[in-house]
Amino acid sequence: MHFISTRNNAPAATLSQAIAAGLAPDGGLYVPQQMPAPRTLQAGASLAETASMLLQPFFAGDGLEPELPRICAEAFDFPAPLRRLATRNDHVLELFHGPTAAFKDFGARFLAASLSRLRADQARPLTIVVATSGDTGAAVAAAFHGQPGLQVVVLYPDGRVSPRQAHQLGCLGGNIRTLRVAGSFDDCQAMVKQALNDADLQARVPLSSANSISLGRLLPQMAYYAHAALAHQAAQDALLNVAVPTGNLGNAMAAVMARALGVPLGRIVLATNANRVLPDYFGGGPYQARASVATLANAMDVGAPSNFERLRWLYAGDDTVLRAQFVARAVDDEAIADTIAARHRRHGEVLCPHTATAVRVLEQLRASGEAAAHEHWAVVATAHPAKFEAVVEPLIGCEVPVPPALAELLRRPAHAEPCAPEYAALRDTLLR
Ligand SMILES: *Cc1c(COP(=O)(O)O)cnc(C)c1O
């Protein structure tokens, strides 16, 4: 299979080329030339086997194809359990059992496993530049740490990530460099995009990205939806609907693609924080990127969701058809806090702020009847609440135990270099 740019102004690329490049040369996002036909998928396989089965058509004919089962085994070496919530027919898909306790570990580990194979025979190291609103950088840094032939430069908005997130970003050292940028996530993302589009720089320092624009992160995220939905259908004979905490739309986009490939998913609902670009668009307004605002669910503080371009491509740019496919709702900080406190008080459930946005949206859909009582829903739990203890603990009035992998990272000393929110500052750093 070949991959083309959403902007139609770049040559078709092989999967390996698309994964290595990150962004297409015309500034667009890589998408499959055509979506593979829906297939009959079997329940009962492991998460890694499900990933391998689902991703096979995308790898067909590529140099990485023979490695796919091993890449999946490396990336999917921790579980993604679907658990029941206290409220009837509601579930939670826990994606936070990886090394940095967020769902981004899946995509980051898959990308690292793929790139390390692609770089095996290259003389010059490849530098991955990654902008993060918190979790991406940590997942990417952990996944690439110690990988030969690969270096990582992480940019994060100083003061806008939780202290534990900041610690995770700066604690690895070695082939990982961490920049704390005196600006917003959108500034960081714009700086990275500019570096990736700077041909002169690329000639001197080979670069790639690891943001959710990267196909190497997007594609594997389909696997946990497939694994959970197939198991649920086999056990309960019910279609799983999902509510996805959404920022850059990478996670939800993977759900959309999984459903297009025949995974038994029902509706896909997008839950955002107060950054309401998507709810406004799906509510009938024009698509209008804007500056992000800081919220309690900081990994979703995104004013220009980068995968929107992919989603629009999948629906051939037809806004009417696209709008009919999704419900998107915004949840403000007050409601996020209230949900965390109330779910703990009533049901003993401990939610991270991102997961809480989607729980809140599902509660609203249940209350209004838009999600009927007999429907089965899963809220996607994108991070472990211990990553956001400063928000969660005061609301629930007790400590959140830290998972062992996270505790190990927090024991290491951390360091980040200051960086101005300007492309020139990043360019200098990359050339140094
Ligand atoms: C990144 C992130 C999100 C948003 O995911 P997107 O793919 O950007 O929509 C939600 N929750 C957490 C905890 C995250 O780290």
From the CA of 135, give the closest atom in ligand 1: 15
Residue 82 lies in a domain: yes
Instruction: Judge if the beta carbon of residue 299 lies within 6 A of ligand 1.
Output: yes
177 Cα: distance to centroid of ligand 1 (angstroms): 22
Confidence of residue 124 (pLDDT cuts 50, 70, 90): confident
Nearest to 311 by CA among 409, 213, 230: 213
94, 83 contact by CB (below 8 A): yes
Instruction: Judge if the beta carbon of residue 247 lies within 6 A of ligand 1.
Output: yes
Predicted confidence at residue 129, as pLDDT, reads: 94
Instruction: Judge if the beta carbon of residue 245 lies within 6 A of ligand 1.
Output: yes
Can you read off the two tokens belonging to residue 72?
Answer: 């999946």
Residue 230 lies in a domain: yes
From the CA of 352, give the closest atom in ligand 1: 13
Using H for helix, E for strand and C for coil, what is the string for the chain?
A: CCEEECCCCCCCECHHHHHHHCECCCCCEEEECCCCCCCCCCCCCCHHHHHHHHHHHHHCCCCCHHHHHHHHHHHCCCCCCEEECCCCCEEEEECCCCCCCECHHHHHHHHHHHHHHHCCCCCCCEEEEEECCCHHHHHHHHHHCCCCCEEEEEEEECCCCCHHHHHHHHCCCCCEEEEEECCCHHHHHHHHHHHHCCHHHHHHCCEEECCCCCHHHHHHHHHHHHHHHHHHHHHHCCCEEEEEECCCCHHHHHHHHHHHCCCCEEEEEEEECCCCHHHHHHCCCCCCCCCCCCCCCHHHCCCCCCCHHHHHHHCCCCHHHHHHHCEEEECCHHHHHHHHHHHHHHHCCCCCHHHHHHHHHHHHHHHHCCCCCCCEEEEEECECHHHHHHHHHHHHCCCCCCCHHHHHHHCCCCCCEEECCCHHHHHHHHHC
Residue 260 lies in a domain: yes
The residues, any chain, with a CB within 8 Å of residue 230's CB and separated by 6 or more, are: 41, 42, 43, 44, 50, 263, 264
Residue 385 lies in a domain: yes
407 Cα: distance to centroid of ligand 1 (angstroms): 21
d(C-alpha 296, C-alpha 391), whole Å: 7
The string of pLDDT tens digits covering residues 266-307 is 999 999 999 999 999 999 999 999 988 989 998 898 899 989
Predicted confidence at residue 121, as pLDDT, reads: 66
Instruction: Judge if the beta carbon of residue 41 lies within 6 A of ligand 1.
Output: no
Instruction: Judge if the beta carbon of residue 227 lies within 6 A of ligand 1.
Output: no
pLDDT, averaged across the chain: 94
Predicted confidence at residue 133, as pLDDT, reads: 77
Residue 186 lies in a domain: no
From the CA of 253, give the closest atom in ligand 1: 7
245 Cα: distance to centroid of ligand 1 (angstroms): 6
Instruction: Judge if the beta carbon of residue 357 lies within 6 A of ligand 1.
Output: no
124 Cα: distance to centroid of ligand 1 (angstroms): 32
> Number of structural domains, the chain?
1
Q: What percent of the chain has pLDDT over 70?
A: 100
Instruction: Judge if the beta carbon of residue 301 lies within 6 A of ligand 1.
Output: no
The string of pLDDT tens digits covering residues 52-67 is 999 999 999 999 999 9
Higher pLDDT, 324 or 427: 427
Confidence of residue 389 (pLDDT cuts 50, 70, 90): very high
CATH of the domain at 287: 3.40.50.1100
Residue 239 lies in a domain: yes
Q: What percent of the chain has pLDDT over 90?
A: 81
Instruction: Judge if the beta carbon of residue 385 lies within 6 A of ligand 1.
Output: no
pLDDT average, residue stretch 328-336: 98
382 Cα: distance to centroid of ligand 1 (angstroms): 6
The pTM score is 0.94
Confidence of residue 430 (pLDDT cuts 50, 70, 90): very high
Predicted confidence at residue 27, as pLDDT, reads: 86
Instruction: Judge if the beta carbon of residue 276 lies within 6 A of ligand 1.
Output: no
Q: Is the predicted pLDDT of residue 18 greater than 90, yes or no?
A: yes
- Structural domain including 223 reads 74-102+218-404
Residue 411 lies in a domain: no
pLDDT average, residue stretch 16-43: 90
Q: Please calculate the CA angle 294-283-329 and round it to the nearest 5 degrees.
A: 45
Residue 332 lies in a domain: yes
d(C-alpha 411, C-alpha 83), whole Å: 30
